[in-house]
Amino acid sequence: MNIAIFASGRGTNFSAIAAAIKKRLIKANLSLLVCDKPGAKVLLKARRAKVEIFLVERKGFSSKIDFENAIIDALKKHKIDLIVLAGFMRILSARFVRKYYGRIINIHPSLLPSFKGENGIKDAFSYSVKVTGVTVHFVDVLMDHGPIILQQAVNVDEGDTQKSLEEKIHRVEHALYPQAIKLFSEGKLKIKGRKVSIHRSGRSVIR
């Protein structure tokens, strides 16, 4: 199985996934990094991991369709089976998502459907919740909405700051995302409407 990670930032989830693959905890190839930010720290991590990089800036294309078509060509070239969004700060079009539905997953720093959007940790902390968490889900055409694969709760303890909560959530992310990818690679995930079933044997092929 060939994986492409889409990332725009520091690449901490990229590193966690790359490490899991290197240890053979996930039997897959990390074939491609798709990045839209020339200065992103994830690029250095990809070079160190010897992962091929496709650096693609939106401003280099006259339309979003052309921009995404360039990405699609790269995915086809590398025969990508699974797209992993890991801090990719660009909304993919409905056209793109429908093309790869069932083969795009995302991680979000809250227990969806609560606290959607790019400020999930900040919003949960500001709301003074006692429990938040992490969600891995399939991507659909709505933001932070697709069928949920895995979730894990994170307690907001007395004395936590937003920074300490972020650190706790990121630690959970780095463990949970590789677990979800492993389940996908072993064919143990099946989408049923808005829900995902996880089974121990057999292979569920999603096209």
Question: Token pair of 139, please?
Answer: 């991507």
Give which of 111, 70, 68 is closest to 93, Cα–Cα: 68
Give residue 87's region: left, alpha or beta (phi > 0; psi -120 to 50): left
Q: Is the peptide bond before 147 cis (omega within 30 degrees of 0)?
A: no
Identify whether the C-beta of residue 139 lies closer than 8 Å to the C-beta of residue 105.
yes
| Alpha helix stretches (DSSP H) within the chain | 12-22, 42-48, 64-77, 94-100, 120-126, 162-185
Catalytic, out of 78, 108, 170, 174: 108
Q: What is the CA radius of gyration of the chain?
A: 17
Separation of CA 125 from chain center:
22
137 is a catalytic site residue: no
CA quadruple 159, 165, 167, 173: dihedral positive or negative?
A: positive
Q: Name the residues annotated as catalytic.
A: 108
